Structure formats: C-alpha cells, structure tokens
Structure 1
Amino acid sequence: MVGGRTSRSFLLAAALTRAGQALLDAAPPGGRERWERTNHAGRTVGLYAGPAAALGAALAAGRVHPGAGLAVLAAGACGAYDDVAGDHRRGFRAHLGALRDGDVTSGAVKLFGISAAGLVAGALMKERPLDRLLAGVVIAGSAHLVNLVDVRPGRAVGAVLALGAPGLVREGAGGELAAGAMGAAVGVLPEDLGARVMLGDTGAHALGAALGAAVVAGNRRAGLLAHAVALVAAARYGDRVSAWARAL
C-alpha cells in the first residue's frame, strides 16, 4: 500500500514538474527558438519538459535524502550540457576514442560527470565502501538506461513508470524516491506522448538518476549487485536496448 509520505513525494514532483514546464513554455529564457528541436518524425518540439522534470525530481528526491537530490540535479545538469553542446556521437567507445585524441566531447563530460555524481551520492547514502561503489554504479547506470530508451515519444517516461512502480511497495526512502521519479514522469506525460515536447538528455538522465537513487535506498548489497550487473550489461549492449525501445 502506498503511504502518505510516498503519495506526497509523487504529488510534489508532479506539481513542480507541471509548474516548471508551464513557466518555461510561457516565457522561455533566450527566446522560443532556443528551446525548439526537431524530433525523429521531423516535428518541432519543445525542450521544456527536460528541465522541468529534472527540477521536480531533484527537489522531491532532495526532500527524502540530500545525496539523492544531488545525484538527480547533477545528472540533469550534465544532460543539459549535452542538449546544448552535444556533438551527436553515440556510444561510450566513440566518446572515449575522441578523448584519447584530445577531444573532450559532451558525451565524455556526461560520462564522467554523472559517474562522479553517482559515486558521491552513493557515499552519502551507504556506509560500507563496496556498497558505496555499487550504489554509484546503479545511479549512473540508471541515468544512462533511461536515456538509452528515450528514442520515441513516451518511451523514457513509460520506462520510468514501469521500473519505478515496484518500488512503491517499499516502505521508507526507497518508496518515496520511486514515487518522486514517477511523479516527475507523470508531470510531462501528456505532452511527451503527444510529441509536443521531448525530455532530451536533461530529463532522461535526471529521471534515470532518481530511479537509481530509489534502488539504492531500497536495497542492500545483494540487490545493489544484481541491479549493477544488469545496468552494466544494458550499457554494454546499448544499441540493442535503444533498438528494442524504438521497435515498441
């Protein structure tokens, strides 16, 4: 059963996300054109959903645990940098290869930035060194996973809702963090499904980090290890994961 604190986390994240999206849509900083992108179908969509979802999820997560809020905010910030300065190279190998050649890509910034944020959050949320390391992998891996499936309208939001739902049955911080991630996802759901906005890397990474923080808060070492292995495998076969999400 979903408790009162869990419900409040869901409602808070959803309300903050809706309000943030409305404000950005009404008065986009720098002009509307700066916030417009072309989606896979050639339609012009707004990027308002990403920052709104990141802020809603971060504030809801920070209310539960400061480390979780930090991870979500940092993941969203790294994603925002890629949305603005992205060079569209795909895959870790491409970005690491460019880094070896002295080219610091936006993808490399995301990789190291989100990984560092995950490790810091893991250190704040867990006590033992191995648990802290696994927590960092889970948070960073979850941020990457949601971004991998953000290939069509509704895919990333649907993944957050599906993956977060089991966490609602947990009592305590794990359930509250899962609810916050889901609330932020629901906040952008109508516009995302209608292909009027897109999450971009900002929203996808933030929502993924929020899910990862929920997993960290709700699991001990065995659970963390299982999730970490699954997320590393998903990253290893990222192209297949994206193709599967695209085919749904």
Structure 2
Amino acid sequence: MIRSLISCAVAGLLGYTATRAVLSSKLRGHRKVVRTNHAGREVSLVEGPAVSAGLVAGSLLIEAPRQRAASLLVTTVSGSLGAVDDFCESGDSKGLRGHLSALAHGRITTGGLKVIGIPVASIAAATILRTGSRGHGPVPSNAKSGDQNWLGSTVDVVVTGGVIAGTANLFNLLDLRPGRALKAGLLTLAFMPHQHGLTWTPGAAIAGSAAAAWPDDLGGAVMLGDTGANALGAALGTILAENSTGKQRAVLLSGLVGLTLLSEKVSFTSIIESTPGLREIDAFGREVV
C-alpha cells in the first residue's frame, strides 16, 4: 500500500512537471503551433504535446507491467498520430464519416491515419492487457478443447480495444471549448470505481497533467488539439478497460459507438449548452466563451 501511494504521488508530480515544462517552452509561441479558435482568438496547440508528455512520464510509474506497457503504447501512438493530424494535416475530410469516405476512395489523409492507427494500437494494447498470467490469452494452451474459450477471449480483446480507441475518439470530439476535455477526464476519474493497483497511479498521472494545463486551457491561451485529446482519451480508456468486467466493457463500447454516431448527426456543443447542469459545468472557470 505504501509503495502504491508513493508511486501515485510521484506519477502525479511527473505528469505535472513534464506538462508544465513543455507548456513553458519556446515551442508555445512558434508559428506552426498557433491556431485560431472558435472565438477568433489565437491559441497555441502546445498543450497537446505538453499533456502527452505528462501522461507518458506519469505512466512510467504504473506498477503492473502489462498495464504500464499497454498505457505507454496506446498513449504514445494516439498522441503521435494526433500530432501528425494537428501539424501536418492533409485533405479536407472532417469527422469519422469524412475520413472513412476518403479511405474508401483511396485517399490517405492525416485523419485517416488516425482512424486506422489508433484502433490498431488499441487492439495491441488490449492484447497486452488480456494475455499472459491472467489466462485470458487469445490463443489458449489447448486450442482443440478450448475453441469456445479462444473465441470469447478474442472477442474480449476486440471489445477492450474498442473501448480504448472509442474513448480516445470521444475526447477528441469534446475538445471544442476551453477546458471541456480536461473536465470530462477529471470527472471520469472521479466517478469511476478505484482499485489502488489499477487506477491510482495512472489516474494520478492524468490528474497531474490536467492540473498543470488547467489554467492556460480554461483561459483560452492553449488547446489540447488532436494530440492531447487523443492521448488523454487513450490513457483514460486503458484505465476503464482494465478496471471493468467483460460485460461492463461491452456496455461501455456500446455507449461509445452510440456517442460517435450521434456526433455525426448533432453538435455536442449545442446539446451541452442547452442542457441545465451540463451547461454550468462546461462554463465553470472558463475565461473565454
């Protein structure tokens, strides 16, 4: 228990320190990272690399080797592919439907790379989480007599990967107003069930990174962009996937798929702004409207 508490504290400190270090760097004002936000104000995309760095730094302290490897893999890949989309964007396709349409016509866009790359990394991370000492491997030792178990394990890997990839995508959809994605991340951490071996250290890394970015994000000076939102969502998705039963993961995946499809039809911002409670939480602490 004491070791877990120390790991948790150090992970939070590493997440905070790494995030603040990148936020305070010369990269912040570089012309290639400056964009115009929804309010017509110039903001820096440096928060994305900063939060990604904090999440990776803090995740190094995760005690369970498989969870640590899975978290580092999917957070790094999701953040890196988000950075490609943020800073090397190609094509004018928008949204999941637009990226899939471009891929169907043989056009590879930076957004399309995310559509392919993040799910692949998520399945790889899910395989790490579900295989090995737990006995949940996709290929059982006695395949002839365990075909049904093999099928169930394979489905669980796919569902687990779907939860991780779906959460990464959902947080990208939320990053449309200052502080919204950070608040969603912290609320998710606050209301999920906690086990010290599974959630404390990775949760502390997320909390530390979010705390470091909070003032600048809520002030409208920086934004997560795809880099930070995808990395944050992937890190949270890994915790959710590891801290849930198979049935809970199936329910989570269904909800994530439903929200993704809903986002193609309606604006999350319009729903939030028209819903009492959500509207006030969303606006809390924000300096830029």
TM-score (structure 2 length as normaliser): 0.78
Structure 2 residue corresponding to 1:109, chosen from 113, 122, 132: 113
Q: Kindly tell me: are residues 197 and 217 of structure 1, through their superposed partners in 2, closer, same or farther at Cα, counting changes over 3 Å?
A: same
On the 8 A contact 1:63/1:69 being kept in 2, the answer is no
**Which residue does 1:10 correspond to in 2?**
12
Q: How far has the Cα of 1:160 moved from its partner? A: 0.7
Contact 2:32 2:87 in 1 (8 A): no
**Aligned residue in 2 for 1:47:** 45
Q: Identical aligned pairs, as a percentage?
A: 34
After superposing the two structures, state which structure 1 stretch, 166-175 or 96-105, moved more.
166-175
State whether residues 152 and 246 of structure 1, in contact with CA within 8 Å, keep that contact through their aligned partners in structure 2: no
In 2, Cα distance between the equivalents of 1:245 and 1:150? 13
Aligned counterpart for 1:181 among listed residues 174, 185, 206: 206
Which position in structure 1 is the counterpart of 2:196?
171
Structure 1 Cα separation of the partners of residues 107 and 128 of structure 2: 32
SS in 1 for 2:35: strand
Tell me the SS of whatever aligns to 1:37.
strand
Q: CA deviation at 1:54?
A: 0.7
Q: Equivalents in 1 of 2:7, 2:193: separation in Å? A: 11
Q: Letter of the aligned partner of 1:82 in structure 2?
A: D
> Matches of 1:7 and 1:63 in 2, distance apart?
10
Segments of structure 2 that go 5 or more residues without pairing to the other structure are: 63-67, 137-153, 280-289
Conserved 8 A contact 1:12-1:56: yes
CA 1:241–1:226 in structure 2 vs 1: closer, same or farther (change >3 Å)? farther
Greater helix share, 1 or 2? 1
Distance 2:259 2:47 in 1: 25
Structure number with larger C-alpha Rg: 2
TM-score under structure 1 length normalisation: 0.90
* RMSD of aligned Cα (Å): 2.1
Q: 1:3 to 1:88 in 2, by over 3 A?
A: farther
Alignment of 1:28 onto 2:27:
yes
CA-to-aligned-CA distance 1:20-53 (integer Å, 9 cap, x gap) = 2112xxx229x71111111110111111110010
Q: CA deviation at 1:132?
A: 1.8
Task: Give the number of aligned pairs.
Answer: 244
Q: Secondary structure at the match of 1:45?
A: strand
Q: Indicate the SS of the match to 1:172.
A: helix
Distance 1:82 1:246, change over 3 A: farther
Amino acid at match of 2:210: A
Name the SS for the 1:237 alignment partner. helix
d(CA) in 1 for partners of 2:158, 2:200: 22
Check conservation: 1:165, 1:178, Cα contact below 8 A: no
Q: 1:242 aligns with which of 268, 282, 288?
A: 268
